[in-house]
Amino acid sequence: METYSIHTTIRDWAEDDRPREKMMLKGRQSMSDAELLAILIGSGTKNDSAVDLAKEILHRAHDNLTELSKMNLNDLVAVRGIGKARATIILAALELSRRRNESCALERDKIKTSRDAYEIFKSILGDQPYEEFWIILLNKANKVLKRCNISEGGISGTVVDPKKIFKISLDHHASSIILGHNHPSGVVTPSEADQRITKKIREAGAMLEVMVLDHLIIGENGYYSFADDGAM
């Protein structure tokens, strides 16, 4: 005897199990990651529901939202059923989330501890797949004047030019600066190159009377502070 599988779509589900209806009935906190993502996807395909497609995307991101935020257009359209239109909707939502985190970080406009600087750098660098070097410019009261991208590199490093750092610092009349870059590997232990460039920039800052307060290395789940470690 032949057996047949019966494919059901979201329309066949109980109303309070459908993602949109579930959110309206139970609130967004009741939703799983897959259900929230399914709302962005909108609809499924002939063989897969929107939730199935969402689960496949999350599977490729190792069920980790940080990894999901690193996915690009090509990563998303590689999932069968996710075209460019759906992929751009997902990317737009991820970018809004990143900007929201950045706005929260900027509310702490006075740097008192390395943790304050970390919150600002993490909002910029936390999800970057490539290494970038940034600086935070501060006035005499340690209030943030500006954040500037100094360089972008590859997975294993980026080139930093101290002349560029101090031109920007002097142009904005900064009294002090904080350095920051990310390690895409997630390992925040400073390399010999990190130590050398920190020393070089710190010594140049002393000559120009622009104090280098700290250098932070940002990883996926934490950070290293040269100042906290007594290495400044």
DSSP annotation string for 71-84: --HHHHHTSTT--H
Q: What's the distance, CA 93 to chain centroid?
A: 13
Per DSSP bridges, beta strands 223-225 and 211-218 are antiparallel
What's the CA angle centered on 146, arms 65 and 131, to 5 degrees?
Answer: 45
Instruction: Indicate whether 47 pLDDT > 80.
Output: yes
The predicted model scores a pTM of 0.59
Binning pLDDT at 50, 70 and 90, where does residue 199 land? very high
Per the CATH hierarchy, to which homologous superfamily does domain 111-225 belong? Cytidine Deaminase, domain 2 (3.40.140.10)
Instruction: Indicate whether 64 pLDDT > 90.
Output: no
> What is the rounded average pLDDT for all residues in the chain?
86
Instruction: Indicate whether 193 pLDDT > 80.
Output: yes
**DSSP code, position 191:** P
Instruction: Indicate whether 181 pLDDT > 80.
Output: yes
Which one has a higher pLDDT value, 143 or 226?
226
Please tell me the distance from the alpha carbon of residue 183 to that of residue 177, in angstroms, as a whole number. Answer: 20
Q: Enumerate residues 6+ apart whose C-beta is below 8 A from 214.
A: 114, 117, 178, 179, 225, 226, 227, 228, 232
Domain boundaries, the chain: 10-102, 111-225
pLDDT at residue 4 in the model: 41
Which one has a higher pLDDT value, 103 or 150?
150
pLDDT at residue 10 in the model: 55
